[in-house]
Amino acid sequence: MNKSTGRFYIETLGCPRNDSDSEAIISILKNNNFKMVNKPDDASHIIVNGCAFLAEAVLESVEKILHLSEINSKATLLVVGCLAERYKEDLIEALPEVDILVGTGSINKILDAIRENRSIFSSQKGFIEKNLYTLHHTTPSHYRYIKIQEGCNYECSFCIIPRIKGSFRSKPLEDIKEEIKNLSKKVKEIILVGQDTSCWGQDIFGKPSLDYLLNEISSLFSGWIRILYLHPLTVSKSLLETISKNKNIINYLDVPFQHVSSRILKKMKRGYDRALIEKLLKMIRDIDEFTIRTSFIVGYPKESEKDFNELYNFVQNSNLDHVGLFLYSHENGTDSYSLKELDKRITENRFNRLFSLNVRRMSERNKKLIGKNLEVLIDGKEGMEYYGRTKADAPDIDQIVWIKNKKNLNIGNYYNVKITDTLTSELLGELL
């Protein structure tokens, strides 16, 4: 097989940061005479950009590797990114189907890995190079994830990410600007991602400077600008005011709290307590009307019924718009791995109780939207129905709006929609 050229198929699993990395891989290979194909059957090289954050994600990645190998056993199979980085010692031994591993810090060397038929890792973990993926994208053509920083300096006891992605690094402002300027005119939404986006600029300017970045890029892009993965400790008043005053920067805050019990937060090594969460939420409400998304972990070791009830009551009485829930995952390599897990029956019962509460809250929230007119970005079509998202909803993690329409709508365009009805976690609407 010619190692200099070939046909490649890429499968991306996990978070939007992996989408950004996959787009870089696509650009590198296509710029070096490799052809991207849409079916693994047609590929000489199959690339799996797998997730290794939680055991469930690892299992999904392994199942995908085995499935793709069965479809095309003759192709060279590469595993890249987080999965390769975390399990480099035993992945090939455990999965003989895998031919080459490429770590998170060596994505820019994937061409060498293919041509030399060898695995490549770097002491510098994580990928943060400029990525001019004008035409090469894994998302629908009307929105893009732009990675603005990599790695994390926090040491949360449940998290493996710093060991996979390395220490915090910001992408230079000029690189981010150039990426935005090179986007296709079809792009109507850009979504800034990283491990800790609100700390962008700490290593460049000596302080978190996401507010400065947003002011610099808001005039470069006329569509929606959304930000994911803010950390509670670095969401400042200046950042909130900057988001509020720039009309195309969406008032959408994704701030994972993980818990509200100060006792559990301390064990998680989050660096803050419940008082900070309440102070932050008050500051947010005082500045403007924001959509707030957060996430919580249920069943962390030594979480008592009192701790859980505190979390339950907080969710019940809060005005949070979107709440993501996760069962604690006991991950080897984390500080909490040395702690004894709670009985699974207890954690599952707690999770189900909080999940049911969250469903009820979401249903009540949606009913209040009936009759309102909202701007919707159309993401696609199924049968005779189009679907899209409001400013309050990020792709893949939040809810969608279904629109019945006899006329053709343009996917990737904004439309004014009247919400006419609601499902538990979806909305129904009609064009105005």
Fold assignment, 6-116: Rossmann fold (3.40.50)
In this structure, which amino acid lies at residue 171?
K
* Count of CB atoms situated within 10 Å of the CB of 317: 8
For the chain, give every domain's residue range: 6-116, 143-367, 373-431
What is the C-alpha R_g of the chain? 22
pLDDT tens for the chain, 432 residues: list them: 455 569 999 999 999 999 999 999 999 999 899 999 999 999 999 999 999 988 899 999 999 999 999 999 999 999 999 999 999 988 988 999 999 999 999 999 999 999 999 999 999 999 998 876 666 788 899 999 999 999 999 999 999 999 999 999 999 999 999 999 999 999 999 999 999 999 999 999 999 999 999 999 999 999 999 999 999 999 999 999 999 999 999 999 999 999 999 999 999 999 999 999 999 999 999 999 999 999 999 999 999 999 999 999 999 999 899 999 999 999 999 999 999 999 999 999 999 999 999 999 999 999 999 999 999 999 999 988 999 999 999 999 999 999 988 789 999 999 999 999 998 889 999 998
Tokens of 321: 């718009």
pTM here?
Answer: 0.94
What CATH class is the domain 373-431? mainly beta
CA 414 to CA 201: how far, in whole Å?
Answer: 32
Q: Which CATH superfamily hosts domain 143-367?
A: tm_1862 like domain (3.80.30.20)
Q: How many residues does the chain have?
A: 432
CA 22 to CA 80: how far, in whole Å?
Answer: 9
Tokens of 403: 């629109």
Q: Distances from the Cα of 316 to the Cαs of 70, 252, 328, in angstroms?
A: 47, 21, 21
Please report the pLDDT score of residue 1 as a whole number. 46
